[in-house]
Amino acid sequence: MKERIRRVIADYARLATAVDGLEDTADLYAAGMTSHASVNLMLALENEFDVEFPDRMLRRGVFESVSSIQAALEELTSEIAA
């Protein structure tokens, strides 16, 4: 899952640095992601993982790092499977 997340980040987050050089917990906003790019990232993640982020997850912290995105996606995919 992390590799898919990193690929989507690389394509949509418009980071100033390569995502491959960032730790899983690195702040993507500090790495150059804008709020506009985070919306594009969210939409791309929804498409890639066939999920929809609910309103409660539409906050900065959810899209702040690879780890936080992975946690949100794991929660969403476990809800779908249940």
From the list 43, 41, 48, 37, the residue with the least C-alpha distance to 66 is 41
Q: Is the pLDDT of residue 79 over 90?
A: no
Q: Give pLDDT tens digits for 15-60.
A: 999 999 999 999 999 999 999 999 999 999 999 999 999 999 999 9
- Torsion region of 32: left, alpha or beta (phi above 0 gives left; psi -120 to 50 gives alpha): left
In the 8-state DSSP scheme, what is residue 24?
A: T
- For residue 5, count CB atoms less than 10 angstroms from its CB and return exposed for 0-12, middle for 13-18, buried for 19 or more: buried
Q: Is the pLDDT of residue 82 over 90?
A: no
The domain locations on the chain are 2-81
Class of the 2-81 domain? mainly alpha
- CB of 82 closer than 8 Å to CB of 18: no
